Structure 1
Amino acid sequence: MKKDWLHTWLWEYKKQTLRHSTFKDYLCYIERHINSAIGHYKLKDLRLEYLQALYNTKYQEGLS
């Protein structure tokens, strides 16, 4: 999902509207969970089944 886009989205589009603690949580989720699993894909190559597999894995790990 191209790591750069998620950081741009968070820093440029969301930072001003989020509480500091929420921003920190999102940053952690992006870095720890999303980028490590699908961050190497280009956005145009990201497929629904990759997202579903990520969701399923995190759910089995006890995350929601």
Structure 2
Amino acid sequence: MNGQNRNDIYPGLEVDIILKKDQRSGKLTRGVVKDLLTSSSYHSRGIKVRLEDGQVGRVAEIVEF
């Protein structure tokens, strides 16, 4: 599942994000959502979130078990 719809993302969800510094390489960082920073319901490059460890990036994928 991609991270473009705000309705799909909530605190406590495990996601892969792309940090600003990793946009060129596309390197993913895995973590758990703490806060949603994008207020609109949809964003073409992914909803911006803050992880529990403080890192901020756009959701590339939602981790599903």
* TM-score in terms of structure 2 length: 0.20
Q: TM-score, normalised by structure 1?
A: 0.20
Rg bigger for which structure?
A: 1
> Whose strand proportion is higher, 1 or 2?
2
Could you say which structure has the higher helix fraction? Answer: 1
